[in-house]
Chains A and B, each alone.
Chain A
Amino acid sequence: MLAMPALRTVPARVVARQTLRKSTTRAASSSSSSTEATSSPFYTTLTASAATVVAIGSVAWYYHLYGREAFAMTPQEEGLHPTQYPWEHYRWVKTFDHQALRRGFQVYREVCSSCHSLKRIPYRSLVGTIATVDEMKALAEENEYDTEPNDEGEIEKRPGKLSDYIPSPYKNDEAARAANNGALPPDLSLMVKARHGGCNYIFSLLTGYPEEPPAGATVQSGLNFNPYFPGTGIAMARVLYDGLVEYEDGTPATASQMAKDVVEFLNWAAEPEMDNRKKMGMKVLTIGALLFALSVWVKRYKWSTVKTRQLVYNPPVGPKR
């Protein structure tokens, strides 16, 4: 529209020339761009491919040098990986089997407690999970504990109370080492959490002592062969033999039964909150699922107007040319 008056003043010849020039330049430019179009993909593809190869190559080289796990240990030093057992209490909505915990506590008391402490477990925490108040009071009273200093500053002995912790077999670590060939029997309170493989490892360890070390294995004197223990030489000898304890509930006390029970008990000792944690988890997931479903519904509800509306553009009707 604006160009119209200008054009009208210009002679027709000039207009024709201009259009001609315009068309030639357009042709030239289009031809040059088409040569670019054919030549540029070659270089860009090459550069991009080279860059990609270099990038992947350097990542691979770096990973090869520094990325992999360094296995400095021989398989023997690593120890045999424990078997995965189908622990019932490992499942999402299963509590500990408290009858098994009770048996496990009996095994701990009759076998392990002569060497291993269980420092973090007070008698009171066993009440209502493993034993009754009366049983635990009686058990606590069997042991003596230090009193507060009296008027003369003397520390006397008193019978144990529910709030006392399970006594350790040795006065201190040095005494424990001295009694065990220099090896310290570790505290078992958190043992299940402290070892890779957890329950599986300890169960395998307790039941994994062979009759005699395999041919070619060297076992230091004072150590015992156990393939599951890293290094295979462990200062703890085999402790569980069939019929070692007599279960009050009549369960046959095979070595593997005792190992299973004591391991479950040690798992309880390490995670006494597990039953409640799982129950709470179940509730949280239920409520969470409900709220999630609700929020999805609200979102769809709120967006339904936006999603179903139709935008129609009616261009203004201009004069006909």
Chain B
Amino acid sequence: MAGIASGLFNSIFRRNYVFLSTVFLGAFAFEIAFDTTTDAIWNRINKGRQWKDIKHRYVQKPSEDEDDDDE
């Protein structure tokens, strides 16, 4: 425990610029990770109901068909 605490202190909290960058990067990383997972869950719950799930039936261009990998 003490090892972890002192390790944390030395690596992050000792220098303010490191601390501040950790906060900002951590916020970005968390947001990206959180949004990705919740969006995935959301799309799973609503599979087949959203426009992106049925779009391929109506879009003519075949190139747009490819990026729709839901089915």
Contacts and interface: CB of A to CB of B under 8 A. Distances in A.
Interface string B39-70: 10010011011110111011110000000000
B45 A130 contact: no
B61 to A, nearest CB: 9
Contact of B49 (A95, A135, A286, A287): A95
Contacts of B42: 93, 279, 282
Nearest to B55: A132
Contact of A129 (B35, B46, B51, B60): B51
Interface stretch (A5-13, A69-77, A96-104, A216-224): A96-104
B34 interface: yes
A283 interface: yes
B10 interface: no
Contacts of B16: none
A286 B38 contact: yes
B45 A93 contact: yes
B54 A98 contact: yes
A22 interface: no
Interface residues of A, number: 22
A96 B48 CA distance: 10
Given A128-B51, A283-B38, A94 B58 contact: no
Q: Interface size for chain B: under 10, 10 to 19, 20 to 34, or 35 or more residues?
A: 10 to 19
Given A128-B51, A130-B51, A282-B38, A95 B58 contact: no
Contact of A95 (B34, B39, B46, B59): B46
Contacts of B34: 283, 286-287
A94 B41 CA distance: 12
Of the listed residues A98, A249, A282, the one surrounded by the most CB atoms of chain B closer than 10 A to its CB is: A98
Interface string A99-128: 100100000000000000000000000001
Nearest to A133: B59
A98 B58 contact: no
B46 A131 contact: no
Contact of A135 (B38, B39, B54, B58): B58
Interface string A253-291: 000000000000000000000010001001100110000
Given A282-B38, A286-B38, A94 B49 contact: yes
A99 B38 contact: no
B45 A275 contact: no
A72 B62 CA distance: 62
A146 interface: no
Given A282-B38, A282-B42, A283-B34, A132 B59 contact: yes
Contacts of A97: 49
A283 B46 CA distance: 15
Given A131-B58, A132-B55, A96 B38 contact: no
Interface of B: 34-35, 38-39, 42, 45-46, 48-51, 53-55, 57-60
Interface of A: 93-99, 102, 128-132, 134-135, 249, 275, 279, 282-283, 286-287
17 contacts: A93-B45, A94-B49, A98-B50, A98-B51, A98-B53, A98-B54, A99-B49, A128-B51, A130-B51, A132-B58, A134-B60, A275-B50, A279-B39, A279-B42, A282-B38, A282-B42, A286-B38
Given A132-B55, A132-B58, 17 more contacts: A93-B42, A93-B45, A94-B45, A94-B49, A96-B49, A98-B50, A98-B51, A98-B54, A99-B48, A99-B49, A102-B54, A132-B59, A135-B58, A282-B38, A286-B34, A286-B38, A287-B34
Which 6 A-B residue pairings sit nearest by Cβ, starting from the closest? A98-B51, A95-B46, A97-B49, A95-B49, A132-B58, A283-B38
